[in-house]
Amino acid sequence: MDRTAKIEPEKPLSKRILLGVTGGIAAYKAAELCRALVKAGHTVEVAMTDAAQRFITPLTFQALSGEAVLTSQWAAGTHHGMDHIAAARRAELILVAPASADFLARLAHGHADDVLATLCLARTAPLAVAPAMNTAMWHAPATRRNIERLRADGVWILGPDAGELACGETGPGRMLDVPEILAALPGILGQGVLAGRRVLVTAGPTLEPIDPVRAITNLSSGKMGYAVARAAAEAGATVCLVSGPTCLPAPAGVRRIDVRSALDMRDAVLAEVADADVFIAVAAVADYRPAQAAPHKIKKTAGTLTLDLVRNPDILAEVAARDAPPLCVGFAAETGDLLAHGREKMARKKVPLLVANLAQDTLGQDDAALVLIDAAGEHPLARADKLTQARRLIRHIATLLP
């Protein structure tokens, strides 16, 4: 099949989803989410905490889902008083939206003190949570620890989004909008456009040592590469992320290899690329490195300091030149003449897809405007947050795969 031919992703199969609702003003979004899941063909069963019922009634979810709503593990039922355990066994996905700070804390510590926490602890299905809380609560050290614990336990963390909150403050803490949650589900359920594919991603800067305390690096934050890795995992791929130095947590379900220099990154990529179907080179790899790093700190003197620099290997071009390369995707951060430089880099590195952006508008930012360049032409992506752009890129990559 011609790699430029457009292919339509398969329609996701219907699943039985247990929707958990916790206390918070974002509970109204859970009603919209329930309706959207049912409309998409899924069977939805809802479990609510006591706090959730102060914001929205079980009757609302019963009407929207067509199923009885679980509100207590003490309720008599048809499964020897164990309806909550039976529900956990029926579910093919447990999705908690919104997930309050309190619920995330209890989940991270394995509590089973209400029907929803018990369901999550007794699950055999994947678990995803969509946090929703005040910005200060999201940034609190305890919440950060709980989120990292949940990531380590294999829980999918969906969001939160940033924006104006119900309390009037602005910042991260908003529950993801329903379309964003729906976009993440196919990958979690193994039905994404990259299901069964192996994707290798590089991200972040490289750090080229001058001496034991100094190095040549750049302003890359790694945010775009991490977003691409997350989007690929959401699309069902098995993802390996080779990352230069960043402060970012590894996305859920992504295997991360930490490196420092360009040579380290090259070694890690070459060790992994043979199994990859797609290689996405997002990292801002330093073009040059000191020819010889000093073994001790270079002392300041009255004179000038001259560094002898040598070229670093071109990792993307090397992978693209292999006998049977994966689908290679390059990134070009330019400061002007975006399309001309992008086209030239695409031809020089011999890759089928290149993502171009203006460095001054992108490096370190949470959003970006991109242009996808391939054999069919240029495809501008209007400015949006980097995860949205990453999801758009992954959908485009899927159309290029044989």
Nearest to 393 by CA among 344, 319, 331, 324: 331
pLDDT digits (tens, 9 = 90+) for 40-80: 999 999 999 999 999 999 999 999 999 999 988 776 555 55
Residue 318 burial by CB count (10 A; 0-12/13-18/19+): exposed, middle or buried? middle
> How much is the average pLDDT of 238-249?
93
- Bridge-based pairing of strands 309-311 and 278-281 is unpaired
Catalytic residue annotation: 167
* Distances from the Cα of 202 to the Cα of 44, 215, 380, angstroms: 38, 20, 23
pLDDT digits (tens, 9 = 90+) for 74-130: 765 555 556 767 887 888 899 999 999 999 999 999 998 899 999 999 888 899 999
Give dist(CA 11, CA 34) in Å, integer.
19
Q: What pLDDT was estimated at residue 77?
A: 58
Residue of higher predicted confidence among 134 and 183? 134
Domains annotated on the chain, with CATH: 16-188 (3.40.50.1950), 198-293+305-400 (3.40.50.10300)
